[in-house]
Amino acid sequence: VVDLLLGGPIIAGATLSRFFAFHVFVVPGLLIAFVALHLLLVIKVGINEWPMPGRIVRRETYVAKYHELLKRDGIPYFPAAIWEDVIFAGVVLLSIAACAVVLGPFGPGGQPDPTIIQTAPKPDFFFWWLYTVLSYLPPAAETPFLLIAPAVGIAFLIALPFFAGEGEKSWKRRPIAVLVVLLVAVGWGALTSLGAHTPWSPVMDAWSGEPVPAKYLEGRTALERHGALVLQLKQCRNCHALGETGGKRGPPLDEVAVRLTQDQLIRQVVQGGGNMPAYGKNLSPAETTALVAFLGTLHPPGQAPARDAAQRATLP
């Protein structure tokens, strides 16, 4: 699936071409097809009446009662009811045209300034909840959440009418459904509020805002001090906090030597993993050695850094 979406193992020119085609041709085509199918079903089958308390829906009698109600109170979709859709669509198009005339091609923010190169990328507010969820998920759960969960959810919604299509439809008689909707709304609002604080986004100026705290440099060798300089220059602190300063996108580094062995640190820096990109092509071997040497000093006083099981077995 990843190779199909990206056009290869990495994000490259083929990825841009595929996403352009997907957004320009595939998505609009699917929307048009679903709208056409919806209109066809409305014309052929009709529209459900508004659910009322005491109105019981049963599969055996629903169709006959619906046709009886349709003959008594129904109106034809075309041309009687279609005018509501035509008027609404016209208002939307006129509103878009008015915005284009009043705001111009650059929108309310005006013409962009190409000289501004320091920026914190941020999605639209209605996507904040999604980025918040991703920031709190463990790395192993991201792929199932992004690829499997939507498919399962869509399949559940499609199957829902087949096993839950009877009973009272009125929300006044369905307290569990109302409670679920309220919980979803509260959860969405809470996640959106958390997204406003961007726990998922790098702090783009964290590396330059504060130097490496002096306590992490005391008594260090020249190699380890060079590693601290690499940590600063390569902007690692945009995502990782050190001494309570820095980003929150990745785990803090204050005790990283307790969590990862030297080999694991090298592999994490060079190959990446989870949400962390690989830096093997951005660091020279000397820089990687120095950086790992400095990271190996980040452990609480009196607590030894993590070691491989093979190394512990050879110690006396």
Give the pLDDT score at 179: 96
Tell me which of 208 and 237 has the higher pLDDT. Answer: 237
pLDDT in tens, 87-146: 999 999 999 999 999 988 888 878 877 776 666 667 888 888 988 888 788 877 877 888
Beta strands in 141-194 (DSSP E): 167-168
Q: How many residues does the chain have?
A: 316
CB-facing half-sphere around the CA of 177: CA atoms within 13 A: 8
Provide long-range contacts, Cβ within 8 A and 24+ apart, for 143-152.
Answer: 147/1
| pLDDT at residue 225 in the model | 94
Residue 17 lies in a domain: no
The mean pLDDT of the chain is: 84
Structural domain including 305 reads 206-314
Q: Which residue has the higher pLDDT, 230 or 9?
A: 230
Which residues are CB-neighbours of 147 under 8 A, at least 6 positions away?
Answer: 1
Q: Indicate whether 184 and 221 sit together in one domain.
A: no
Boundary-marking domain end, from 167, 201, 235: 201
Regarding whether 246 and 289 lie in a shared domain, the answer is yes
How far is residue 182's CA from residue 192's CA, in Å, rounded to a whole number?
Answer: 15
Give the SS3 label for residue 9: coil
Backbone angles phi, psi at 245, to 5 degrees: -125, 145
Residue 110 is predicted with a pLDDT of 80
Give me the CATH number covering residue 276. Answer: 1.10.760.10
What gap in Å lies between CA 122 and CA 195, rounded to an integer? 10
pLDDT value at residue 269: 93
Residue at which a domain ends, from 201, 234, 264: 201
Question: Are residues 182 and 143 both part of a single domain?
Answer: yes
Question: Long-range contact list for 191-194, CB < 8 A, 24+ apart?
Answer: 191/128, 191/129, 191/132, 191/133, 192/125, 192/126, 192/128, 192/129, 192/132, 194/128, 194/132
* pLDDT tens readout for residues 172-197: 888 998 999 999 999 999 999 988 87
Q: Taking the alpha carbons of 280, 282, 287, 292 in that order, is the dihedral positive or negative?
A: negative
Indicate the SS3 state at residue 199: coil
Give pLDDT tens digits for 242-279: 988 888 888 899 999 999 999 999 999 998 877 788 88
181 and 215 together in one domain: no
Alpha carbon dihedral 35, 41, 42, 44, in 10-degree steps, equals 140
Q: What percent of the chain has pLDDT over 90?
A: 32
Domain membership of residue 144 (yes or no) is yes
- The per-residue pLDDT for 248 is 80
Q: Which range among 53-67, 88-102, 215-229 shows the weakest confidence by mean pLDDT?
A: 53-67
pTM: 0.57
Q: Are residues 242 and 177 in the same domain?
A: no
Residues 217 and 147 in one domain: no
Averaged pLDDT for residues 51-56:
81
241-242 and 167-168 beta bridge pairing: unpaired
Nearest Cα neighbor of 240 from 202, 205, 209 is 202
E strand segments, 93-240: 167-168
For the chain, percent of residues with pLDDT exceeding 70: 93
292 in any annotated domain: yes
* Total number of domains in the chain: 2
Does residue 63 fall inside a structural domain?
no
Claim to verify: residue 303 and residue 281 sit in the same structural domain: yes
- When pLDDT is cut at 50, 70 and 90, the band that residue 11 belongs to is low
Do 74 and 185 contact (CB within 8 A), yes or no?
Answer: no
Question: Using CA atoms, how far apart are residues 134 and 128, in angstroms rounded to an integer?
Answer: 10
* Tokens coding 268: 């994490």
Domain end: 180, 201, 222, which one? 201
Same domain, 228 and 155: no
Please check the confidence at residue 5 and state whether its pLDDT lies above 80.
Answer: no
